[in-house]
Amino acid sequence: MLHRFTFVRAARWIFALCCWLVAAQAQAEPAFVTIEGDLKSIAWWVLADFHPFTTEVRGLPVREIRKNWCKATEFRKDLIPRELLFEGGTDAMAAANMSFAVEGRFDGTAPKQVALVGVFEECTGQKGRFILILDQSAEGKPKIRFVNAVRTDHQFGALQKGDDNSIVAWACMECDNFAVLKWDRKKRKFDWRPGPAEQ
């Protein structure tokens, strides 16, 4: 009886220690988004610093996307504090018809693709924003169709579906800093279109 009591007590102690270690590790990891600066005078997406924490994006190991990446995290609304996304009670992204991921048949073929944005961290510690287009597969992992990665201190990005099956990539929410990505039938690949100033 004494042996059983000692075992139960030891098991409880080990369980409590494990819970404490998990909680301590969770507190030690930084939030996905940190803000440094005055939100009253500068937009949150300008001040935001994103901290990738995953080693897969939609089931793809980050090293298969780019060999020099150690982490990459897709932007998702549930990872960003609600008070930033719903400033003043309004979903500014939805109001601007922007999203972190858009689906479509961007190359005109039957399989659907998903275009998404996120933040990556190279194994050297440098961070940036990425845009990824994947063929969606009912079975197995998705196939990479396009990757664009830019090292930058301002990693925010958002997407819109263009009128002509294009993908509009934004680096902000209330500005004219965007680029248009479209399937080029002659080159048989996704390519950037010239912007209005370049035409």
Proportion of the chain in helix, strand, coil states, percent, rounded to 5: 25, 35, 40
Task: Decide: 181 and 53 in contact? Cβ < 8 Å.
Answer: no
- Which range of residues forms the domain containing residue 71? 52-78+92-193
Tell me if 45 is assigned to some domain. Answer: no
- Three-class SS state of 186: coil
In terms of domains, do 23 and 71 share one?
A: no
In terms of domains, do 139 and 66 share one?
A: yes
Tell me if 120 is assigned to some domain. Answer: yes
∠ CA 192-194-198, rounded to 5°:
155
Q: Which of 195, 150, 196 is closest to 171 using CA atoms?
A: 150
Half-sphere exposure of 94 (CA within 13 A, CB side): 7
pLDDT in tens, 141-195: 899 999 999 999 999 999 999 988 899 999 998 888 899 999 999 999 999 987 5
Tell me if 15 is assigned to some domain. Answer: yes
- Residue 27, pLDDT above cutoff 90: no
Tell me if 181 is assigned to some domain. Answer: yes
Grade residue 135 by pLDDT with cuts at 50, 70 and 90.
very high
In terms of domains, do 155 and 185 share one?
A: yes
Interatomic CA distance for residues 47 and 193, integer angstroms: 28
pTM: 0.81
- Residue 117, pLDDT above cutoff 60: yes
Tell me if 158 is assigned to some domain. Answer: yes
In terms of domains, do 56 and 24 share one?
A: no
Amino acid at 2: L
